[in-house]
């Protein structure tokens, strides 16, 4: 087991599970080198359906160079409506070609603007907006630029197949995955810990979980300053200086002059505090934090939960416990029977605690992709595991000074919690010339968590 990059360790991903040296290189040299397409599970009615009964216009957008949040803001501005009327099932990165669904409340096809870098295909109408559950997963096609050791992809694939518990899944030609013999790319079923990727916390400035931890602890000033302060070397000099100035002085008016216009969320928060009569208190700091969009407010708490989850997985790795099968005390969930073909999709609404009598039978379900070992995303309704896994979960929460009741907050910051599979498996196709990886992942799983095992570089190069 190999120690991870320091930036990854800072967000709870403490190890790689493959020991082979990485292939090196970088991702996203061009947008076309990182393609993502949603695996959809959302039905629409024809466009002719009544707008009164079906007020949400649904369309599929292929975006080049657009972050999902930025595209939604551009769309809402062009339509002259609140951004809260624009919904989507999954957030995508800016430096990629992404294909995903959107819905807009109260819009008609003729209202949709022409947006540079966006191809829009109107699908129909729906009675409700898109939600996270409407996304089954994503298909990825990724090219690694300038790899130093592309041939190492073969050994890494073999290690990840073994970690997933499916050594026999390596297909013909795995010893030479270049496809040079004309048989095409090598394929294998591989597994990795289902970590939350660096993007969850900020690739260049991983502080989102720090904000969330302060929110859950009830320290609203600490949460705001974690977001506004914390300058990092990855930022431009002017931004670093503005953050450092605010940390030192708490001069909201002067900070508003110093923060660049492109940092619109920071400026909105500082503006809220600058309008406060006297020194801001907890209510004013909370109001400042609530100036960011509601989905980002939720993300703060989700990032805190994700950090704890990552630490729990790292501790399980340290103890040498399996990820592909349960031990006594584990909590497992079962597979979603409506998942698209070839996609292992856990259904965390169907859980079972594994006692001594059930270990063998549940292991068979896990081997067949019908069940998954889980760990908690802690919230008010979280029930922790028993046995050694339960010890790990309690130790991590004690380290972070958290307990489930802390998530009983009002507004967007409240979370009941859930559980999440600790292993993600996928059928992977690998070409060496150029180095290309194609795979599909269930919703909520991160492509970079698989790709980091192959490149083993600074996570900024994965961003």
Domain extent at residue 284: 219-292
Please give the pLDDT value at position 178: 42
Q: What is the dihedral of CA 302, 65, 84, 212, to 10 degrees?
A: 20
Task: Compute CA 160 distance to the chain's CA centroid, rounded to the nearest angstrom.
Answer: 21
* DSSP codes, 243-295: HHHHHHH--HHHHHHHS-TT-HHHHHHHHHHHTSSSS--HHHHHHHHTTS-HH
Question: Does 7 share its domain with 145?
Answer: yes
Tell whether 276 is covered by a domain: yes
Residue 183 annotated among the catalytic residues of the structure: no
Alpha-carbon distance values, 446 to 3, 127, 175, 244 (Å): 19, 30, 27, 32
Question: Does 262 share its domain with 348?
Answer: no
Angle at 301 between CA 296 and CA 304, to 5 degrees: 125
Using CA atoms, how far apart are residues 224 and 405, in angstroms rounded to an integer?
Answer: 22
Question: Does 348 share its domain with 323?
Answer: yes
Confidence check: pLDDT of 175 > 60? no
Question: Does 391 share its domain with 306?
Answer: yes
Question: Does 400 share its domain with 305?
Answer: yes
Q: What whole-number percentage of the chain has pLDDT above 90?
A: 84
Quote the number of domains for the chain: 4
Using CA atoms, how far apart are residues 25 and 27, in angstroms rounded to an integer?
Answer: 7
**409 phi and psi, to 5 degrees?**
-115, 160
Cα torsion angle, 237, 239, 242, 245, sign: negative
CATH number of the domain where residue 405 is located: 3.30.2350.20
Would strands 331-335 and 371-377 be described as parallel, antiparallel, or unpaired? antiparallel
| Span 197-207, average pLDDT | 89
Question: Does 147 share its domain with 122?
Answer: no
Please give the pLDDT value at position 297: 93
In the structure, what pLDDT confidence band is assigned to residue 168 with cuts at 50, 70 and 90? Answer: low
**Residue linked to tokens 């009941």:** 416
The model's pLDDT over 354-371, given as tens digits with 9 standing for 90+, comes to 999 999 999 999 998 999
Please give the pLDDT value at position 294: 87
Q: Is 445 exposed, middle or buried (0-12, 13-18, 19+ CB in 10 A)?
A: buried
Extract the tokens encoding 282.
């907890």
What is the average pLDDT score of the chain? Answer: 93
**363 phi and psi, to 5 degrees?**
-60, -45
The total of other beta-carbon atoms located within 10 Å of residue 416's CB is 12
Q: Is 311 helix (H, G, I), strand (E, B) or coil?
A: helix
Angle at 253 between CA 250 and CA 258, to 5 degrees: 90
Tell whether 205 is covered by a domain: no
Using CA atoms, how far apart are residues 245 and 235, in angstroms rounded to an integer?
Answer: 15
In the structure, what pLDDT confidence band is assigned to residue 435 with cuts at 50, 70 and 90? Answer: very high
Please give the pLDDT value at position 169: 53
Question: Does 263 share its domain with 284?
Answer: yes
**Residue linked to tokens 């996304």:** 135
The model's pLDDT over 120-166, given as tens digits with 9 standing for 90+, comes to 999 999 999 999 879 999 999 999 999 999 999 999 999 999 999 86
Question: Does 249 share its domain with 285?
Answer: yes
**Residue linked to tokens 């951004």:** 83
Extract the tokens encoding 439.
């795979």
Q: Is 232 helix (H, G, I), strand (E, B) or coil?
A: coil
Tell whether 22 is covered by a domain: no
Using CA atoms, how far apart are residues 458 and 146, in angstroms rounded to an integer?
Answer: 15
Please give the pLDDT value at position 173: 46
N residues, the chain: 463
Using CA atoms, how far apart are residues 382 and 209, in angstroms rounded to an integer?
Answer: 19
Contacts of 197 (CB under 8 A, 6+ apart): 446, 447, 448, 449, 452
Tell whether 37 is covered by a domain: no
Question: Does 275 share its domain with 349?
Answer: no
Cis peptide leading into residue 271 (ω within 30°): no
Using CA atoms, how far apart are residues 252 and 263, in angstroms rounded to an integer?
Answer: 15
**Residue linked to tokens 């999440």:** 420
CATH number of the domain where residue 94 is located: 3.30.70.3160
Question: Does 77 share its domain with 224?
Answer: no
Contacts of 260 (CB under 8 A, 6+ apart): 236, 238, 239, 242
Tell whether 201 is covered by a domain: no
* The domain boundary residue, chosen from 75, 109, 129: 129
Q: Is 113 exposed, middle or buried (0-12, 13-18, 19+ CB in 10 A)?
A: exposed
The total of other beta-carbon atoms located within 10 Å of residue 378's CB is 27
* The domain boundary residue, chosen from 240, 262, 292: 292
Tell whether 117 is covered by a domain: yes
Question: Does 397 share its domain with 251?
Answer: no
pTM equals: 0.88
Alpha-carbon distance values, 268 to 2, 218, 388, 428 (Å): 42, 21, 46, 43
Q: Is 89 helix (H, G, I), strand (E, B) or coil?
A: coil
Confidence check: pLDDT of 434 > 90? yes
Tell whether 178 is covered by a domain: yes
Question: Does 172 share its domain with 55?
Answer: no
The total of other beta-carbon atoms located within 10 Å of residue 184's CB is 12
Q: What sections of 320-422 are H helices per DSSP?
A: 359-367, 387-399
CATH number of the domain where residue 223 is located: 1.10.1510.30
Contacts of 262 (CB under 8 A, 6+ apart): none
The model's pLDDT over 36-89, given as tens digits with 9 standing for 90+, comes to 999 988 999 999 999 999 999 999 999 999 999 899 999 999 999 999 999 999
Q: Is 365 helix (H, G, I), strand (E, B) or coil?
A: helix
* The domain boundary residue, chosen from 292, 320, 338: 292
Q: Which residue in 31, 93, 324, 330 is the catalytic one?
A: 93
Using CA atoms, how far apart are residues 314 and 392, in angstroms rounded to an integer?
Answer: 10
Confidence check: pLDDT of 170 > 70? no
Tell whether 235 is covered by a domain: yes
Please give the pLDDT value at position 114: 94
């Amino acid at each position: 087991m190999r120690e991870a990059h320091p930036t990854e360790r800072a967000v709870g991903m403490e190890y790689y599970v493959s020991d082979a040296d990485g292939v090196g290189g970088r991702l996203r040299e061009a947008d076309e080198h990182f393609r993502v397409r949603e695996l959809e599970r959302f039905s629409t009615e024809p466009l002719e359906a009544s707008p009164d009964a079906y007020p949400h216009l649904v369309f599929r957008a292929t975006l080049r160079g657009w972050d999902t949040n930025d595209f939604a803001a551009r769309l809402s501005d062009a339509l002259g409506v609140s951004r809260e009327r624009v919904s989507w099932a999954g957030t995508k990165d800016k430096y990629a070609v992404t294909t995903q669904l959107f819905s807009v409340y109260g819009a008609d096809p003729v209202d949709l603007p022409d947006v540079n870098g966006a191809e829009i295909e109107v699908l129909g109408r729906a009675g409700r907006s898109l939600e996270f559950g409407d996304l089954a997963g994503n298909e990825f096609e990724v090219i690694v630029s300038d790899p130093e050791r592309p041939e190492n992809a073969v050994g890494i694939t073999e290690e990840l197949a073994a970690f997933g518990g499916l050594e026999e899944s390596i297909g013909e030609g795995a010893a030479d995955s270049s496809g040079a013999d004309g048989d095409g790319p090598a394929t294998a079923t591989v597994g990795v810990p289902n970590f939350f990727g660096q993007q969850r916390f900020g690739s260049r400035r991983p502080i989102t979980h720090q904000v969330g931890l302060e929110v859950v602890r009830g320290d609203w000033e600490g949460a705001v300053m974690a977001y506004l302060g914390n300058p990092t070397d990855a930022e431009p000099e002017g931004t670093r200086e503005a953050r450092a100035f605010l940390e030192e002085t708490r001069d909201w008016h002067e900070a508003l002059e110093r923060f660049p216009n492109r940092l619109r969320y920071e400026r909105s928060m500082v503006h809220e505090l600058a309008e406060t009569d006297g020194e801001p208190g907890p209510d004013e700091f909370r109001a400042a934090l609530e100036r960011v969009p509601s989905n980002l407010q939720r993300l703060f708490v989700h990032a805190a939960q994700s950090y704890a989850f990552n630490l729990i997985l790292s501790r399980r790795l340290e103890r040498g416990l399996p990820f592909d099968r349960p031990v006594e005390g584990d909590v497992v969930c079962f597979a979603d029977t409506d998942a698209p073909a070839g996609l292992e999709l856990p259904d965390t609404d169907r859980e079972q605690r594994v006692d001594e009598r059930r270990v063998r039978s549940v292991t068979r379900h896990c081997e067949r992709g019908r069940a998954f070992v889980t760990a908690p995303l802690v919230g008010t309704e979280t029930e922790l595991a028993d046995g050694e896994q339960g010890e790990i979960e309690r130790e991590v929460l004690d380290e972070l000074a958290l307990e489930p009741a802390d998530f009983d907050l009002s507004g967007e910051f409240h979370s009941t919690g859930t559980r999440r599979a600790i292993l993600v498996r996928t059928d992977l196709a690998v070409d060496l010339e150029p180095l290309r990886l194609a795979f599909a992942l269930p919703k909520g799983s991160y492509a970079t968590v698989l790709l980091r095992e192959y490149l083993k570089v600074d996570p900024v190069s994965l961003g």
